[in-house]
Amino acid sequence: MRLWTERDFPQDWAGAQNNLGIAYAELPTGDRSENLGRAIACFKAALRVRTERDSPQDWAMTQNNLGAAYVRLPAGDRSENLQRAIECYEAALRVRTEHDVPQDWAMTQNNLGAAYVRLPAGDRSENLRRAVSSFESTLRVWTEQESPQHWATAQHNLGAACVALPAGDRTQNLRRAIACFKAALRVRTEHDFPQDWASTQDNLVGAYGSLPSGDRSENLNHAIACFKAALRARTKHDFPHHWAKTQANLGAAYVGLPTGDRSENVSRAIACFRAALQVWIESDFPQDWAMTQNNLGAAYGSLPKGDRGRNLKRAIVCYKAALRVRTKHDFPRDWAGTQNNLGNAYPSLPTGDRGDNLGRAIACFEAALRVWTERDFPQDWARTQNNLGGAYANLPTGDRGDNLRRAIDCYEAALRVRTERDFPLDWRRPRTTSASSVRTCQPATAATVCGARSTATRRPHAGSTPSE
């Protein structure tokens, strides 16, 4: 760097800046945000020399690397970072065409899809449809025969996008996801790729656990067995982040298990979530930390044994902690979910002023409905309308008739979505307050961003980006 100046040796200098950026992006020690900030500065410096007109292939490679750094950046506005990443990938694709550089085109399509999966802003269904389209494009080049590891990555990512897709037939989306994960496991074996195998196993069992059809208990017991198997490969010492992810998913499976001793299942879930939080601390993994705080709160809220008031107070503390990260601006959907969960905790509190508790619940449900609209999130919207109706129906303060009219309006609104045909159980029990939701981390961590590429090394390197 001392010999290669931008003025005297611009191309060499730009190549060195690109490679230095890659080194900072991959640095495992130090402050993650600071390292990635330096990587971004290096890539931007390289782009002063590497222009689309004069050095199109190098320009496209550096745009791809810059996009990958923005995706991984934990600091700043998450939506803005991801929008910048998408702009970088789309710019790179002006040069990286399927015809001229198919492998580079496929890698950037994969990265673009991964960015859309993570994007919290905009129309969620549209973002995920774009992600699915990108992964499908990738698979035209990355075949099982010629690029087995990359093909398995794209299959894994396509499956994750299908799991998260809120539009279309839910069962069909999940069955397609299961087929993708099973395909990926033909390459990602426990013997050859233990970490990738464990990640895809996580996602596969998560998809099975989300299936609305089949035996729920059997699906979740299968999931629990798979998560425990994954922990053979993912030890806390060697792979702390992945170990924490599997612990969090195992906890979510225990919470959802409908058979066995409920107290024992939920206690095991709490132990798993607390284990995950040994690794996922707020400063280093804010999104994973917040998700696990939300899930731990839901577990405490549903724990049937012990002091009910103390358990619910613990749940409220967890939800409020999660909302320090899950803001409406940065993570609107997650913010709404945690607001709904917090709203569910307040009415059940056996202590304190009943009217105040229900007033707080109403504020939480109304907050959630600012994000969960009938058009974009119909099932979440209906569930929250139902919960809001229950809070108004039980409110001991104010005008009783007015409160009940509001409750009726909420229940009737919920029934526009919860029809007898589509949701017969919910339709028959419109006044039952829904339980707090526990979210697993499979869909959001599943989309893998292919690593940055240096001037000297032209082979793509696949690496996962931590995120909920």
pLDDT of residue 466: 26
Q: How confident is the model at residue 84, as a pLDDT?
A: 97
Judge whether residue 150 has pLDDT over 60: yes
> Are the C-beta atoms of 306 and 290 separated by less than 8 Å?
no
Are 291 and 334 contacting, i.e. CB atoms less than 8 angstroms apart? yes
The answer, yes or no, to whether residue 424 has pLDDT greater than 80, is no
For 287-332, how does the pLDDT look when each residue is reduced to its tens digit (9 = 90+)? 999 999 999 999 999 999 999 999 999 999 999 999 999 999 989 9
Question: pLDDT-derived band of residue 429, with 50, 70 and 90 as boundaries?
Answer: low
Mean pLDDT along residues 121-146: 95
Burial class (CB in 10 A: 0-12, 13-18, 19+), 95: buried
- Taking alpha carbons only, the member of 163, 138, 173 closest to residue 152 is 138
Q: Kindly list the distances between the CA atom of residue 227 and the CA atoms of 66, 87, 151, 220, 277, in Å, as whole numbers in the listed order.
A: 34, 36, 24, 10, 17
Residues 78-116 have pLDDT tens digits of 999 999 999 999 999 999 999 999 999 999 999 999 999
What six digits make up the tokens of 97? 């065409």
pLDDT at 219: 80
Question: Is the pLDDT reported for residue 440 higher than 60?
Answer: no
pLDDT band at 450 (very low <50, low <70, confident <90, very high): low
Give the confidence band of 211 by pLDDT, cuts at 50, 70, 90.
Answer: confident
Q: What is the pLDDT of residues 242-283, one digit of tens each?
A: 899 989 999 999 998 999 999 999 999 999 999 999 999 999
Question: Does residue 442 carry a pLDDT above 60?
Answer: no
* pLDDT for the residue 266: 97
Closest CA relative to residue 331, chosen from 120, 159, 189, 187: 120
Other beta carbons within 10 angstroms of residue 103's beta carbon come to: 17
Cβ–Cβ < 8 Å for 309, 349: yes
Q: pLDDT grade, residue 239 (50/70/90)?
A: confident
How far is it, in rounded angstroms, from Cα 467 to Cα 133? 21
What pLDDT is recorded for position 441?
47
Instruction: Please report the pLDDT score of residue 427 as a whole number.
Output: 52
pLDDT exceeds 80 at position 72? yes
Q: Which pLDDT band, with edges at 50, 70 and 90, does 434 fall under?
A: very low
Using CB atoms within 10 A of its CB, is residue 365 exposed (0-12), middle (13-18) or buried (19+)? Answer: buried
List pLDDT tens digits, range 384-418: 999 999 999 999 999 999 999 999 999 999 999 87
> Residue 234's closest CA among 247, 243, 221, 222?
243
Q: In the chain, what are the domain boundaries?
A: 1-96, 316-453
CATH for 1-96 is: 1.25.40.10
* Confidence at 8, pLDDT banded by 50, 70, 90: confident
Amino acid 242: pLDDT: 86
Mean pLDDT in residue range 184-209: 88
Q: What percent of the chain has pLDDT over 90?
A: 70
pTM equals 0.64
> How many CB atoms are located within 10 Å of the residue 18 CB?
28
When pLDDT is cut at 50, 70 and 90, the band that residue 465 belongs to is very low
Q: How far apart are CA 389 and CA 102, in angstroms?
A: 55
Q: How far is CA 210 from CA 164, 175, 220, 385, in A?
A: 10, 10, 9, 23
Per-residue pLDDT, 422? 64
Residue 455 has pLDDT above 50, yes or no: no
Please give the mean pLDDT across all residues of the chain: 88
Lowest mean pLDDT segment, chosen from 36-50, 314-328, 371-385: 371-385
